[in-house]
Amino acid sequence: MTTEVRSRIVGTGSYKGEGVLTNHDLEQMLDTTDDWITERTGIKERRVVSKKIVTSDMAAHALGQALDMAGLEPNDLDMIICGTVTPDRPLPATAAYVQKKLGASNHCASFDVAAACAGFIYGMSIADVFIRTQKAKRVGVIGVELLSRVLDYTDRNTCVLFGDGAGAAVLVADESDRGILSTHTYTDGSLTELLIIPAGGSVMPTTPNTAAERLHYVRMEGREVFRYAVRYLSEAARTALKANNMTNDDVSLVVAHQANIRILDGVAKRVDIPLDRFVLNIERFGNTSSASIPLALDEAVRGNLVKSDDILLMIALGGGISWGSALIKW
Ligand code: COA
């Protein structure tokens, strides 16, 4: 009889950066108020890293911390998956820079996943398939975004929402009943235009005009994204629980993408899990896209909020529109 192999998270890490941009700072920069941002989003401040830091620095720091917690070396990894939509460069993958910066010399497969705010869930889902099929034993999964480099700080519809950050987890093959129980990933490609960076790709290659017209910055139909977020995240949560014959009562902790406290409140009500069972750090970090879940997870783990055998529900949604879930027995 073959034993079932699961992927278990044995280390987490993060990079938070030191620069803090508060709502009061933003009041000085554009037509907004601390009251509006706090009431409409739950965000009070976000991190903006210094100009000398690049995405792979943040990612390598986070994964390095996760490896330390796991008691593993960079060369122990069979694979590095980096969820990001703010890579170091269009070519090569940021994960390749992370491998170099960590000093891993074992040629482990290292690649990026561009699923926006769902990037970490997508990365975990891919890692889980490689581990379950025994093609990898130890995988580093990162969610990292340096969004301050692609935000238009004259556009109050977007710049107040997002911040920089990185988080990571080390997943290892495990034959106990603990680990990732399921992952589900989805994309609704009819909604691509709701959250985009218009220029810099093949549709609109970089020209002096694209730069002058500020087409290299994030643009978003916030109200529409909000609507889909509440609906699809709630559906994803229900599907994950049903697939594992569980109910809302079984969930110890929800580690959800931190986009807007009102989105989380809407999901909490729809799936009937009180908001006090959600890990919440949106007030301090804003929306850090793919970094959001691993950053929240690392804070929860280091704050001893997660105990053995706890059931963790992870849900995220972002540009694409792409979304997904992971259900984990800790
Ligand atoms: N400060 C002050 N006023 C602002 C503002 C800001 N930073 N941003 C927008 N407003 C204004 C709008 O211009 C609008 O004014 P109008 O009524 O005169 O046109 C008004 O506030 C209401 O705008 P609206 O877009 O309806 O607000 P909202 O309640 O939907 O909140 C978001 C806007 C962006 C906070 C919300 O839609 C949201 O969080 N969406 C999801 C975004 C997200 O997280 N996406 C990432 C992927 S998950």
Give 183's strand partners: 326
Span 303-330, average pLDDT: 97
At residue 2, the pLDDT reads 58
Span 161-175, average pLDDT: 98
* 82 classed as catalytic: no
CB 81 within 8 A of CB 113: yes
CB 168 within 8 A of CB 313: no
Q: What angle do CA 45, 48, 49 make, to 5 degrees?
A: 145
- Tell me the CA–centroid distance for residue 163 and ligand 1, in Å: 16
Q: State pTM to two decimals.
A: 0.96
Kindly report whether the peptide bond that precedes residue 205 is cis, defined as omega within 30 degrees of 0. Answer: no
pLDDT band of residue 17 (cuts 50, 70, 90) is: confident
User: In this predicted model, what pLDDT tens digit does every residue of 115-151 receive, in sequence order?
Assistant: 999 999 999 999 999 999 999 999 999 999 999 999 9
The CA-atom distances, in angstroms, between 152 and each of 76, 77, 148, 216, 321 are 40, 37, 8, 9, 21
Residues 6+ apart with CB under 8 A from 2: none
Question: How many other β-carbons are positioned within 10 Å of the β-carbon of residue 176?
Answer: 10
- Tell me the CA–centroid distance for residue 259 and ligand 1, in Å: 12
User: In this predicted model, what pLDDT tens digit does every residue of 185-197 receive, in sequence order?
Assistant: 999 999 999 999 9
Whole-number percent of the chain with pLDDT over 70? 99
* 257 classed as catalytic: yes
Mutate to test the pocket of ligand 1, among 27, 218, 223 (most ligand atoms within 8 A of CB): 223
Query: Sign of torsion, CA 120 121 124 129?
Result: negative
Instruction: Give every strand in the sheet of 6-15, ordered side by side.
Output: 6-15, 165-174, 138-145, 79-83, 109-113
